[in-house]
Amino acid sequence: MNERLNRRLSAVVGAFLILVAGGIAVLGGGLLETPVLLAQVTLMGLAGVCDIVAATDTRLTARWAWYRWSGLGNVLLGFSLPLGFVESGTGLLFVVVVAIGGLSLGLMGVDMLVYHGKYTRDERLDRDGT
């Protein structure tokens, strides 16, 4: 995939995450009384903001590459996934399975943040190869 398509995808994912987090915050009464849900919604919203930043050309992406913002969004979203099931009563096995999915998403984000996509892409995303 090319950079332009990846950035457009980041915009779509970011908008979706912000809408979901905002909807839960507005419609999910008692958010402040449920710290785990509050943490999940906050992480999800921050992940959406990171993806929106990744999709736009701003001073933020001039200082820190777009794919790093996207990677940070993946890490935050990976942390938020299992939180939705911690107090849901679905059972420990389900929480562990979702946590493994969140961990894999988080590790892909770490690759984008630290290693410039070296392990999840065909080639590093930084232009100078450092």
- 3-class DSSP string for the chain: CCHHHHHHHHHHHHHHHHHHHHHHHHHCCCHHHCHHHHHHHHHHHHHHHHHHHHHCCCHHHHHCCHHHHHHHHHHHHHHHHHHHHHCCCCCHHHHHHHHHHHHHHHHHHHHHHHHCCCCCCCCCCCCCCC
- pLDDT band at residue 118, thresholds of 50, 70 and 90? confident
Residue 130 lies in a domain: no
Residue 41 lies in a domain: yes
Residue 96 lies in a domain: yes
Please determine, for residue 1, whether its predicted confidence score (pLDDT) is greater than 60.
no
- 76 in Cβ contact with 50 (< 8 Å): yes
Please determine, for residue 130, whether its predicted confidence score (pLDDT) is greater than 70.
no
Please determine, for residue 21, whether its predicted confidence score (pLDDT) is greater than 50.
yes
Compute the average pLDDT of residues 81-87.
81
| pTM recorded for the entire structure | 0.88
Please determine, for residue 78, whether its predicted confidence score (pLDDT) is greater than 60.
yes
Domain of residue 22: give its range.
Answer: 3-115
Please determine, for residue 84, whether its predicted confidence score (pLDDT) is greater than 50.
yes
Please determine, for residue 53, whether its predicted confidence score (pLDDT) is greater than 70.
yes
Residue 125 lies in a domain: no
Domain count within the chain: 1
